[in-house]
Amino acid sequence: MIAKGDKFPLFKYKDRVAGEFVTIDFNSEVKGKKVVVFGLPGAFTPTCSTYQLPGFDELFPKFVAAGIDNIYVHSVNDPFVMNAWLEKQDIKNVRPLPDGNGDLAVQLGMMVQKKNLNFGSRCWRYALILDGSTGEVLDVFPEEGFGDNIETDPFER
């Protein structure tokens, strides 16, 4: 699992911009910025949609006051799903970080299996602060209880 002081992995993803697929280099996008990245199990899931995503969106001004430039939500979903989720939730201050293949979740050590619920591979809930100038992870906050095939949602315990 990624830890404080580690380098954030190199990550590129596809998105649709003006009707065309483009490759976005996340590390270049955050160069020179301090950002928060938070990971969630899935778009449109009840807990993620009710609490975490809107919570980060609402608290954006406080993050800016603390020196954060941008906030990204990471999930093992494709860009179509991520963009539709943020649009449906009317999210204005959080940017999507789609990870359709789960590559970033694996590199971060945040991939878990939820096959017992027929959900497949999912991102574990976490938040981290990234210094985009150096690529250093300044702090990491993983949800407790990390593991595969957990029967319940740890957030709801």
Please report, in tens digits, the pLDDT of each residue of the chain (157 residues total). 999 999 999 999 999 888 899 999 999 999 999 999 999 999 998 888 989 999 999 999 999 999 999 999 999 999 999 999 999 999 999 999 999 999 999 999 999 988 787 788 889 999 999 999 999 999 999 777 676 667 765 545 4
Backbone dihedral region of 84: left (phi > 0), alpha (psi from -120 to 50 degrees) or beta? alpha
- pTM for the predicted model, two decimal places: 0.92
Q: Where are the domains of the chain?
A: 12-156
CB 26 within 8 A of CB 12: yes
CATH code of domain 12-156: 3.40.30.10
Pick the catalytic residue: 35, 37, 48, 97?
A: 48
Residue 123 annotated among the catalytic residues of the structure: no
